[in-house]
A and B are shown apart, each in its own frame.
Chain A
Amino acid sequence: MNHLGEEDLILHYYGEDDDPSEAGRHLEECSECRSLFASLQSALDAVDCAPVPERDAEYGARVWRRIESRLESRPKPWLWSNPWRWAAAGVAFAGLLAAAFLAGRFLPGRPAPAVAADSQVRERILLVAVGDYLERSQMVLIELANANSGGGLDISAQQARAEDLVSETRLYRQTAARTGDGAVAGLLEELERVLVDITHEPARLSPEAVDKLRERLQSEGILFKIRVLGSKVQREEAPDEPSARQKL
């Protein structure tokens, strides 16, 4: 049996591997994998040392007292459920900063723009925003690329998320274009096209349509390109961390 990869070991740790006995046998026989698994176990066991603040048995009753009077009132928006206001503020803020980020990050040697380029805090916030945006885009595409097309597929959830991502993509693309970063602008244009097309598909795809979409994602290599861009952002986000190469 080949050595176990990191993902195999993670699944084994959580008891979610397809054949735990096979992985167990391999770990008994292979000292290298055993050592890697022990290292993974130590790290994951250590995670449990961060405690959750205790809530006593009366906590539920206190929650009830706090919400009781609001149950019959007219539904109010969630504390955080005004997505458009948040989104508008976020987009506006990102727009102010994106110029500095895109122009300064992906084309080494280009003079940094004056706009906010000296603000490390702002840059980190933007990096987080761009990182999240790229990850969310990637997740939508991964879900579609890995979907089982057997009896057709309901993609309404992915469509809703793709729709949300389109406006963000447009913002970042326009900023990249303005700052002369053609490569990033090109990639974002490609991503925007894919996302828009996904939103225009019927909510329920036939098996053939799923296969066609999957083929398109594969042939255009859009997932790979997003991953590369995402890795760049991650490296910028955590410059003090070791390289992404895993020891496992």
Chain B
Amino acid sequence: MTDLMHIAPSQTQVHRTRLSEDQAAGHLSEDQAAGHLSEDQLDDCLIGDLAAAPAAHLAACPLCRQRVAEAGRPLASFGAVSLAWAERVSATSPVPSIAAARTAWERRLSWSMALATCAVAMGIITAGYGFAGLGFAGLGGAAAGPGLAQSASSASVAGPSTEQVSNDNRLLRTIDLELAASESPAALGLVSSQATTRVRVSGAAGRYPLRDLGQDSIRD
């Protein structure tokens, strides 16, 4: 079809007849029917992918050359104007210095590294305090320094054993009984022995009531 320009006139007339028949059947566009480049071929030409046969037609057809030039004009205008704009902007921009030759990616990386280092340092400090509070009390506070020894002693107060509580209760009960006996009227020689017995009992129960020295009272 595109070789029509290079074919003898009699053959051209035959081809034109066929083309008009095809066109009548709706198979071809007007350009194709006339043997000129189609819109797709025009795009191919602008893209730089025109086949040999249309290229040969283009070389011989002033109409198609003009169409290609018209189609390429806005693109060329855009290229020229945008380059002029970029040259103007570039003329006022500073040249990047090699000393500051760190890309945005590297800057992001350095920030990330700094944040990660801070996070690790915080983690180490937190873990150090926790470890000192839990583990070093049993291993001996003196070796761990004054701060850690203090933590160790406070840890032992926080958790007394049952045996220790019962010993303390026994001791307190003994002291209470001795105090009650030394302050009674009988011990001071003021009442008889029977009354002394009554007063001792009431005094022991009334003035110095024995506390229930269980684990709860110790904890309070």
Say whether A associates with B: no
